[in-house]
Amino acid sequence: MSKLSFSIERWAAWAPGVETPAQWAAWSAGTRPITDEPDRPDVGFLPPMLRRRTSRITKAALWAAHQCGAGENAWPTVFSSRHGELHRSHGLLTELAREEPLSPNAFSLSVHNTASGLNSIATGNRAPSTALAAGLDTVAAGVIEAAGRIHAGAERVLLVHADERMPAFYRPWAEDRPVVFAFGVLLCPPLSGATWSLERYRGPAAEVSAESAPGLAFMHLLAGGRDRLLMAGERNPWLWGRD
């Protein structure tokens, strides 16, 4: 894959106890922790019916989208998550195993494009929207999809990534996510002096980030003022940079 270049016009991110740019900068510097409290982002901008139906991870994703101006223009959107609505899916599978009736509401909101669909409903955005998952490469895949739309002629593309701690049932067999968090970035064509880049890294892996959640590793680059980051992937690390 050749190097992708793009600019980020604005960004927003949420995790329990950390949501402003200053707080994320403090988190990246190690002076403000993400808490383990059962906080939820303020999604008062959503219609009451949607608020009642959304899970914590979807609330976080829609909060990030809203903060990036999802309701202002009909931009194409990309929603990425490694596991998405896994808690709802696990609940449905548990009900099936017990031969109990399934909740139609839970079933309709258990799909991977839940946040994408609800964002379109809430904002009236009929532009193309993609929901994707790619293991450890999910953040990179989301940026590749969004940047690809930019290079195909889109003026702006909104990328939203969200993840959360997996249900306890899966933790013995799969990598865990210690916190719930989401970020949104509004991508646009490369601007002089504010260009970001992404490419596959084929050199020594000694500097690859050890952060267990790639989305949080990306937050170090986004909020911490770094100009270079090596992030682990499924087969190859990813090299992120910015001017």
Model confidence pLDDT, tens digit, residues 89-147: 777 777 788 888 877 777 777 788 889 999 999 999 999 999 999 988 999 999 999 99
Tokens at 75, concatenated: 């931009």
Give the residue-averaged pLDDT of 51-78: 90
CB-CB contact of 57 with 81 (8 Å): yes
Q: What percent of the chain has pLDDT over 70?
A: 93
79 pLDDT more than 80: yes
- With a cut of 70, say whether residue 51 has pLDDT above it: yes
Q: How far is CA 63 from the centre of its chain?
A: 11
- Describe the strand order of the beta sheet including 228-231 as a list of residue ranges: 129-132, 77-80, 157-163, 181-188, 4-14, 196-200, 238-242, 228-231
The residues that bridge with 228 in the sheet, in sequence order, are 241
| 105 secondary structure, DSSP code | H
Mean pLDDT lowest among 7-11, 39-43, 44-48, 166-170? 166-170
pLDDT score, position 131: 96
pTM recorded for the entire structure = 0.90
- Sequence spans of domains, the chain: 4-190
The overall average pLDDT reported for the chain is 86
What per-residue confidence (pLDDT) applies to 120?
A: 92
Task: Give residue 156's pLDDT.
Answer: 94
User: pLDDT band at 176, cuts 50/70/90?
Assistant: low
Residues 205-232 have pLDDT tens digits of: 555 554 556 788 888 888 877 788 888 8
CATH superfamily of domain region 4-190: Thiolase/Chalcone synthase (3.40.47.10)
